[in-house]
Amino acid sequence: MPPKSSDAVAAAQPRLLLVDDDADILALLVRYLGANGCKTATAASAAQARATVAAGGIDLVLLDLGLPDEDGLSLLRHLQTQWRGPVIVVSGRGEAVDRVVGLELGADDYVAKPFDLRELLARVRSVLRRAAAPAPAAECLAFEGFRLDLSARRLTDATGTEIALTTGEFQLLRALLQRPQQVLSRDELMTALHGREAGPYDRTIDVAIGRLRRKIEADPAAPGLIKAVRGAGYLFAAAVSAR
């Protein structure tokens, strides 16, 4: 498996891969992001993006969904299984279903076109900060036979089998485990994931919770670990120990 993006992204000049088949948008983003402290590589197709990521050195991917050779959601699925670094979907496909599917597949954020360049830069910086955040004092958090290694960002089950987590899933699980048996609001969880509060109709947290439940719950349809508290948020119900 190709190496993941380095956790030491906080370096002065993170390297972003811009994936879009629109040459004008690529040129605009290269100029703007370059003027604001980012190094950039570009890809006009999924094949080029796969090759660039496999070569290493990419800290974050900005991914358009409308690619000529492959659906962007298929490429996102590949990145989450073979690379698992942070991905921000930037797409003209702003329909709610595309946003939800993108988040279901593990995108760290979703920005619809047309976008404000300053907002996009803020989203990039926020995702990079979270990806580079140092681990808390405890090295591991254990619950119900699972073990979350905070330094390696690695979740294993009772048999020692690794359960692949995207950057966003790791951040969400860590936030829940650090405050077990406490209700966390959607705004608190949204801040942990995206560095901003949730909008009034934003389903990002619900989608992310659903995705995480499928990985750790014995029965995701009747969750016993991550419980919804009507009108308040979510609560991690199991005991958690630091190791």
Q: What angle do CA 132, 66, 97 make, to 5 degrees?
A: 80
pLDDT at 241: 93
Q: Is the pLDDT at 191 greater than 60, yes or no?
A: yes
pTM, to two decimals: 0.61
Of the candidates 59, 113, 105, the one whose C-alpha atom is nearest the C-alpha of residue 86 is: 59
pLDDT digits (tens, 9 = 90+) for 210-227: 999 999 999 999 999 999
Rounded mean pLDDT of 28-32? 96
pLDDT digits (tens, 9 = 90+) for 122-152: 999 988 887 776 545 568 999 999 999 988 8
pLDDT digits (tens, 9 = 90+) for 44-84: 999 999 999 999 999 999 999 989 999 888 999 899 888 87
Distance CA 227, CA 97 (A): 24
Domains of the chain listed by start with CATH number: 15-132 (3.40.50.2300), 140-242 (1.10.10.10)
CB atoms near residue 5 (< 10 Å): 24
72-82 helix and 96-104 helix, angle to the nearest 10 degrees = 20
Distance CA 169, CA 107 (A): 10
